[in-house]
């Protein structure tokens, strides 16, 4: 960490496999840092209280709401954003299964699906339901999203 003499500090965050320097305050959320400092806008600013999942990223492979995570707490931890999954099999399946609608919630669902596939590749309906509960969608009845998650798991898509 390098202090600039004010209330901000330069730190390195490992985002999508790359070490990135950011200047943060101790109170800056990871969501703010990703969007405003790194230009990674896939994590969406929505409820900002951890209820909707639109800001989901993976920290150490675990789905986390970046609106509730302080950037300073993620130093030395790998952070994965939706930008690292562009063109991935999971993304393609979500499109094919029409699990995208307006797309606002889609990054969070795809990241949850990615983590689920890595941790529970043979997840049953109950496990899938539990993992997807942290994300809300206002456009679908969730069936298309569940179908996409199941198809992704069946195809063995962990990336």
Q: Could you give the number of structural domains in the chain?
A: 2
With cut-offs at 50, 70 and 90, classify the pLDDT of residue 33. very high
Radius of gyration from C-alpha coordinates of the chain: 16
Q: Which CATH number fits the domain that encloses residue 32? A: 3.10.20.30
Of 60, 81, 102, which one is at a domain's C-terminal end? Answer: 81
Query: 62 and 100 share a domain?
Result: no
Q: Is 57 helix (H, G, I), strand (E, B) or coil?
A: strand
Query: 9 and 70 share a domain?
Result: yes
Q: Is 23 helix (H, G, I), strand (E, B) or coil?
A: strand
Q: 21: domain range?
A: 2-81
* Predicted local distance difference test score (pLDDT) of residue 159: 45
SS3 helix, strand, coil % of the chain, rounded to 5? 35, 20, 45
Q: What DSSP element (H or E) covers 114?
A: helix 106-119
Query: 91 and 42 share a domain?
Result: no
pLDDT in tens, 51-67: 999 999 999 999 999 99
Q: Which residue has the higher pLDDT, 140 or 34?
A: 34
Residue 158 pLDDT more than 50? Answer: no
Residue 1 pLDDT more than 60? Answer: no
Query: 148 and 109 share a domain?
Result: yes
Query: 70 and 102 share a domain?
Result: no
Query: 77 and 8 share a domain?
Result: yes
* Predicted local distance difference test score (pLDDT) of residue 30: 98
Long-range contacts, stretch 150-153, CB < 8 angstroms, 24+ apart: 151/93, 151/96, 151/97, 152/89, 152/90, 152/93, 152/94, 152/113, 152/117, 153/116, 153/117, 153/121, 153/122, 153/123, 153/128
pLDDT in tens, 88-123: 999 999 999 999 888 899 999 999 999 999 999 999
Of 62, 81, 100, which one is at a domain's C-terminal end? Answer: 81
Q: Is 53 left (phi over 0), alpha (psi -120 to 50) or beta?
A: left
Q: Which residues pair with 12 in a beta bridge?
A: 21
Distance from C-alpha of 17 to C-alpha of 68, rounded to nearest angstrom = 22
Of 19, 46, 81, which one is at a domain's C-terminal end? Answer: 81
Query: 57 and 95 share a domain?
Result: no
What is the average per-residue pLDDT within 129-145? 90
């Amino acid at each position: 960490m390098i202090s600039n003499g004010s209330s901000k500090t330069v730190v390195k965050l490992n985002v999508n496999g790359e070490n990135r320097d950011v200047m943060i305050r101790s109170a800056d959320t990871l969501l703010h840092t990703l969007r405003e400092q790194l230009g990674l806008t896939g994590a969406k600013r929505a409820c900002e209280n951890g209820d909707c999942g639109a800001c989901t990223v993976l920290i150490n492979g675990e789905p986390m709401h970046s609106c509730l995570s302080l950037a300073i707490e993620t130093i030395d931890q790998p952070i994965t954003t939706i930008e690292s999954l562009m063109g991935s099999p999971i993304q393609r399946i979500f499109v094919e299964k029409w699990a995208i609608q307006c797309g606002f919630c889609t990054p969070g669902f795809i990241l949850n699906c990615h983590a689920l596939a890595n941790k529970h590749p043979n997840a049953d309906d109950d496990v899938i339901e539990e993992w997807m509960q942290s994300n809300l969608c206002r456009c679908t009845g969730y069936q298309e999203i569940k179908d996409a998650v199941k198809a992704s798991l069946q195809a063995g898509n962990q990336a």
